[in-house]
Amino acid sequence: MTFRQALAKHRFIAALLLIGMAIYFFLLVMHIHAILTLNAPLSFTSFYLVFYLCFCCYIIVRMLQDKIMIYWFLASLFLFCFPCTSPLFEYKEDGPKVLADMPACIKNMKIIYEACISYADDHNGNYPDTLSRLLHGRKQYLAPENLECPGNWMKATPPLPGYLYYGAGLIKNKEPRNYLFLEDKPGNHMRKKYCSKMIINTDNNFYIIVPAVECRAYDDFY
């Protein structure tokens, strides 16, 4: 039986198989990307994605051979839904990469804040309108990589700011108390849930919170 004939005979099953394979192939590509760029560990998920794709290919071969495949197809539906219910696929937020990203984010936010203070000293107390002014004015106040979130898995060239900045319009020594100054852009850390936020005060002091990991205040820098 040709592939076209098999599709004509088993349209519903073939459609679900192809949709499932497309979803799992996309997840496999994203998983490989995370392993190569974010140093994510090789896990059970890696092997399961490959196994599911191979299992679907086996069902397609049986389809072409015109063999009984309904039981295999039902098994593929179970395998497709299995990751949603099994604890084997739970993503651990306290892994080594998260613990490495978090202090790096905090360090970058501290550097950005200090650069904004220096910029304000040179501009009559006015904070920069955008973070890019810290790089492209008469004076460069920090290195370009300090504007990148270390957990950002989509690297841009040239680098783009990895933080949302709310300091435009502020004047040094007249800042509101407990003002949200910087925060992670949504999606910086892909599947990681935390989002670091920098809160500043009038007395050149700040603290950083990481809500979803642990509510800690980093107020010992000054």
Query: pLDDT (tens digit, 9 = 90+) per residue, 11-22?
Result: 788 888 889 889
Tell me the pLDDT tens digit for each residue of 30-85: 878 766 765 556 777 778 888 988 998 888 888 778 777 778 888 888 888 877 76
Q: What is the pLDDT of residue 156?
A: 53
Reference 195, options 113, 119, 98; nearest CA is 98
- Listed in order, strand segments (DSSP E) in 63-165 are 163-165
**pLDDT single digits (tens) 98-149:** 444 567 778 888 999 999 999 999 999 999 999 989 988 788 999 888 888 7
Please tell me the predicted confidence (pLDDT) of residue 106.
Answer: 81
Decide: 197 and 180 in contact? Cβ < 8 Å. yes
Q: Omega before 158 cis (within 30°)?
A: yes
What is the pLDDT at residue 10?
74
Output the pLDDT for position 40.
58
Query: What pLDDT is attached to residue 169?
Result: 93
Chain segment 184-199, per-residue pLDDT in tens: 877 665 545 557 788 8
pTM over 0.75: no
How far apart (Å, rounded) are the C-alpha atoms in residues 129 and 121? 14
Compute CA distances 119 → 62, 110, 123, 140, whole Å. 68, 14, 6, 9
Q: What is the pLDDT of residue 194?
A: 54
Angle at 210 between CA 166 and CA 129, to 5 degrees: 10
pLDDT, residue 158, reads 54
